[in-house]
Structures are given as C-alpha cells and as structure tokens.
Amino acid sequence: MSRIRLLPETVASQVAAGEVVERPASVVKELIENSIDAGSCKIDIVIRRGGISLVRVIDDGWGMDRDDALLSLERHATSKIRSAADLQAVATLGFRGEALPSIASVSRFRLTTRETGAIAGTEIVVNGGKIDMVRDGGEAPGTQVEVRSLFYNLPARRKFLRSENTESRNIEHQIHLQAIGHPQIGFSLLRDGHMLFQLPAAAALGDRIRDLYGIKLLERLVEVNGTPSRNIHIGGFIGQAGLSRQTRAQQLVFVNGRAIQSGLLTAAIREGYHTALMKGQFPVTFLFLEIDAAAVDVNVHPAKREVRFRDPTAVREAIVHSIQQTLERGRVEWQQKFRAPSVVPAAIPEKSTPDLRLRRDTIAPEESHRELPHLGPVVAGVGSAAMALTRADDPVRASLPPTASQTRRRPVSAADSTDDPSALQRSQQLAAQQQFQIIGVLSKLYVLMENADGLVLVDQHAAHERILFEELRRRMEEQGVLTQKLLLPETFDVPPRDADWIERNISILQKMGIGIESFGPGTFKIDSLPGFLSVSDPSQFMRKVIDDLKSAGNSTSPMRLGEEMIAKTVCRHAVKANDPLRYPEIEKLIRDLLECDLPYCCPHGRPTMIQLSLAELEKKFGRKI
Ligand SMILES: Nc1ncnc2c1ncn2[C@@H]1O[C@H](COP(=O)(O)OP(=O)(O)OP(=O)(O)O)[C@@H](O)[C@H]1O
Ligand SMILES: [Mg+2]
C-alpha cells in the first residue's frame, strides 16, 4: 500500500532547512526514528568503527512496498504530513521527508524492506545519491537500512569527524535517548562485533532505566507524576536531591516522546532543584512532557533537536512545580532509609563477635561539647521553641546552639535522666519514636548510623545548614523577614531602567526585609535590611540584589532571592566539622533533619548523608564477588 507522497513545493520550503547528517550519530538517530514511526517493536543496531565504516538498523515495523521504497529516497517525500496545516501539529518523529535522501547522498546505502504479509520485499542500493540497483529481496518483514563509508564522497566532511571512540560514544548516547524515550520497544547494539546491550521491551520506564543504568541509579530516583496544568502532563523520574552529575549526559528531557535540548527546560529544571543541587553540577532527569501537539512547534531545528513552545511560561512553571513537589515527596522514602534494622539476624553464632558500637556516653567527654538547641515537643519540626529568634541583633546567631560556656544547663539524655520522671517519660517517648540507631561520630564530623541497608554517614555540618536554612525560610514565608534598622538611612542612585524595575517590585523587596522607598527621580532610600545579613555597604548590596533579581527573571518566585541570601549566610552559622556534639544533640540534629522538606542535601546541594550498603561492604570484604 503506497503511503508516501511528495510534499508540495510550498510546504517543503517551510521545513526548517539545514544539515541533517552531521555525524554517524545523526544517521543512527534518523534511522531509529523512522523505525519507531513505522510501529516497530524491536530495533537492532550494528555499528563498526564509530559508525563511519558501518551503521545498520534493522526493524520489524510495517515496511514499505516497492513504490514507497523508491519514493522514500526522494527529497521531501514523506508519509507523515501532507499539508502546511499538518506541520502545525506533528505527531510523528519525522515529518520532513529529508533523512533517507540526505543519508543516501553521502554514503554507500542499501535499503531492504518488506511489508507485513507481502510475498517479496525490495532491495535498493544507492551510492552517493545515485540508485545503482533495485531488485526483489527476501528479508523478514520490516526494514533494514545499511549505511557504509559515511562521507566517502565528501572528504572535507569526513575530516571533521572525531575519533572512532568518540563517535561510538555519541551513537551510544543517541541510542540511550531513544531507548529511554521508548521503553516499550526492544533495542540492541552490536559494536565492532561486541554486543553492548540487549534491552528487552519493557513494561515501564523504570524497568528500562534499570536495564540500561542499573538498579542502583533507579533506587536514587523519584517518580514524577503530575498534571500541573490542564494541557500539560509531566512524568518520568528525577534524581533525589543530592544526586548529581558533572555533565548533562543524564539530564534527559522528552517532549511528546522526542528527546530535545532546550535552554528553557534546562533552566526550569535548575530552578526546580534550587538548593538541591551543587554549584556546577547537573541533575539526573528522565523527564517526559506530554503536551498537545499543536502547542509545540517541532519545525525549528534541522536535526529536530529543539522545539518551540506556544506558552513557554506555562511549560516552565509546570516543570518547576513538578520537580519541587517530587523532590519533597522523595523525602518520605528517604526517611524510611533511616529506619534501624527491624529484624535481628536469625542465627547469631554462639560466640558472637563483641559489640563494637560505642556506648552513648563514650562518644565524647561532656566538657568539650557544644550543645544544639533543645527540641520543644519530641518530634517537633524545625520550628522548635529553641529556634526562637531571641536576639534581635543577630537572629541567626540567636537560633544557634549556645556554646558550652554559655550554658549551664545539663543536657538531657536517655542515659542520665532516670532520676527525673518527666525526663524519663521524654526519653521513653523518644526511644519509641527513634527510627535510627546511632553508632558514633567519625572525625568529629560524620555521624555513623545503622539502617536496614547498612551504614549511613551524615555530615553534621551539612545537616545543620539544611535545618537552619529551612527554619529561616519558613519564617520568611510566614512573617516576612525580620528586619534590622540601619543606624543611618542611606540613599543611592540607579539608572532609569533599574529605577523602573524597583518601582514595580518595591513590595517584593519590602517583603524580603528591605526597607526601601523612592526618594526623588532615580534615587531611593533604604533604612533597614534583613536581620540575618551583615552588610557593610548597603548601597552596593542593593545594586547586587537588583542585578540578581533582574537576572532571575519575572517568573521567579519573590522568595527565591531571599532563599539565596539565607543559603549564603547559614553556612557561616551552622555547627562546623570539629565541633564535638553530645549524643542527645546528635540525635536531635538527625531528628530535625528528618523533619526538613529536603533533608538529603544542604542548601548548596551537597549531600547530607551517604549510604554504604551491606552489599557494598560484603563486596569490599571479599565475601561476595
Ligand atoms: N524503517 C522504515 N519503515 C517504514 N517506512 C519507512 C522507514 N523509514 C522510512 N520510511 C518511509 O520513508 C519516508 C521517508 O523517510 P525519511 O526519514 O526520509 O523522512 P520522514 O521520516 O518522513 O521525515 P524526516 O526527514 O523528518 O525524518 C517516511 O515518511 C516513511 O514513510
Ligand atoms: Mg525520518
């Protein structure tokens, strides 16, 4: 059955023009996309010498009859769109009718195809764009395209290719993208005679991620599931806060099944991960955006790598919200990680090994300790009474643990409180609620804990940073930021564009704790600043704030800059490495951390905890190979 037609000249001329075949990976991409569009269930790829010597893609899709097979090699011949109107709502991966002729013109090309149910198939050989042979072929139903000696007739282009290894890696990345984008299709890759992977058709995306990247990665991902607006659905998986990479290689985004690169989406993802990502690091995402085909223009890039959204702001906001919600949901799973092992191993040998755990009171001598503020109710949130901002001159410092010399209060611990009934009750309550088992502290910094999976290490400094950060942010959101009056109000001048901007955003600035008002054309007066900041030059500080806020864009939450200011300051106030903590303080620190929205990383995105599983330990000790 003939499906393919030549596009009318007027439509063909509207297709984004440019280089279709840049390198072997583009050949692989185009061929796989064709196989997917042809309803294939299984796609096998063979490459040799970085794809320069050979790329072969074999599918079990619906194939083509002889007329279509011949027509498919003409420019602007496609079965996927018919008119300019179709170009406005493309539902297939291909739409231009350009890939096959482009590839065939720069290689030694062979197409073998057979429709399901047809008696015979067709084989066509093309060299450098010229059809050399057409004959009946007897292959299995489906299509096989073989591309040899890429750019053999364009030596200048061939020179621009990278090493075979690099080209192979590009191809692998391309196949990963397609395989993640289409888990329901089986994929295999044979590289220079070695089978690199064979991925069975997967029932769900999670299975595909596991098959391709391993169960360990899957375990550190959180599923995204939301319809943040009526027209946009966002699904897939994203890395828990604290999980990041040095490159963007695992930051995958799909729009209607098409892997795309987009500055807009990358920025939205970063914003969603705000405070959950280390500087210079990239999140891991397998994000799927489903949106009405008419609301996205795919006809903008010659290699179909980019798209344009009709309503970019809605898309951006949808992504930011989905990521924030997902990361917060991931917290529940994280809390479970801290559960102490519930089952004692069944067979404890007669002469069991000595208990190497430190006793609570031997963690460190009492005198040398700093104390963390005490909790109000046992499982209070971070907003415990002890965090109250009592010293107006320095609210952050006031929320910090007093040093040992500042306090005469004897700390309460499960061990030393038996003579006080209310303390006893508290400690019993505490023990009942305690879901983690602290083993000790390493190097005055890492809290060692045992959980069902093995060993958990918590960085006490990073943990305290996160707790303080969330506490201050909560205060900022609920009451507005506490402000501190300047001794002398200051005036400063700004250029007219900035003056306009300040006028428009003056209420946001005030909410952030900046007492600012207009003081004549292009001049402003500040008489107070957020209390948790220590600023030596208020005018310079204001100029920086304006620059930061302006670059953050209009859709950024007004709280965002305040968050950044807090993140920058808490670090200086949090307990440091080398600050020895007593057992109850450590316990409180962990409990407060568990109450945080994003407990697994500090406000700068560094992890607060690391898990070392029993399986890893067994491997290291040579118990398991
Ligand atoms: N593996 C395949 N199985 C079945 N039909 C195919 C296959 N590959 C290509 N075709 C047919 O050949 C036509 C031309 O393919 P080609 O890749 O050149 O263009 P396209 O996919 O329509 O658009 P684009 O240039 O955007 O990829 C397709 O429209 C499709 O009908
Ligand atoms: Mg195509």
Task: Kindly report, residue by residue over 360-403, the tens digit of the pLDDT.
Answer: 333 333 334 444 433 222 222 233 322 222 333 333 433 333 33
Region 48-61: what's the mean pLDDT?
Answer: 98
Pocket of ligand 1 contains residue 142 by CB under 6 Å: no
The CA distance from 269 to 555, in Å, is 14
Measured in angstroms, how far is the CA atom of residue 150 from the centroid of ligand 2?
Answer: 18
Region 606-614: what's the mean pLDDT?
Answer: 88
Measured in angstroms, how far is the CA atom of residue 614 from the centroid of ligand 1?
Answer: 51
Region 582-587: what's the mean pLDDT?
Answer: 86
Cβ neighbors of 439 (< 8 A, separation 6 or more) are 357, 358, 448, 449, 450, 455
Q: Give, using CA atoms, the residue closest to atom 26 of ligand 1.
A: 94
Region 240-253: what's the mean pLDDT?
Answer: 87
The CA distance from 323 to 238, in Å, is 8
Task: Let me know: does 585 contact 261? Beta carbons within 8 Å.
Answer: no
The confidence band for 277, taking pLDDT boundaries of 50, 70 and 90, is: confident
Pocket of ligand 1 contains residue 60 by CB under 6 Å: no
Task: Let me know: does 372 contact 588? Beta carbons within 8 Å.
Answer: yes
Atom of ligand 1 at shortest distance to CA of 98? Answer: 25
Is the C-alpha dihedral spanning 405, 409, 413, 418 positive or negative?
A: positive
Q: Kindly report whether the global pTM for this prediction surpasses the value 0.75.
A: no
Region 28-44: what's the mean pLDDT?
Answer: 98
Pocket of ligand 1 contains residue 5 by CB under 6 Å: no
Is residue 470 scored above 90 in pLDDT?
no
Continuous segment of H or E residues that includes residue 205:
helix 205-213
Region 537-562: what's the mean pLDDT?
Answer: 69
- Whole-number CA gyration radius for the chain: 31
Q: What Cα–Cα distance (Å) separates residue 55 from each residue in 85, 122, 362?
A: 34, 19, 65
399 by Cβ neighbours in 10 Å (0-12 / 13-18 / 19+) ranks as buried
Backbone angle region of 239, left / alpha / beta, with phi > 0 → left and psi within -120 to 50 → alpha: beta
Classified as helix, coil or strand, 493 is strand
pLDDT reported for residue 374: 31
Pocket of ligand 1 contains residue 97 by CB under 6 Å: yes
The confidence band for 336, taking pLDDT boundaries of 50, 70 and 90, is: low
Pocket of ligand 1 contains residue 79 by CB under 6 Å: yes
pLDDT reported for residue 556: 53
Q: Give, using CA atoms, the residue closest to atom 9 of ligand 1.
A: 34
Pocket of ligand 1 contains residue 80 by CB under 6 Å: yes
Pocket of ligand 1 contains residue 114 by CB under 6 Å: no
Measured in angstroms, how far is the CA atom of residue 37 from the centroid of ligand 2?
Answer: 8
pLDDT reported for residue 428: 43
pLDDT reported for residue 289: 96
The CA distance from 16 to 30, in Å, is 15
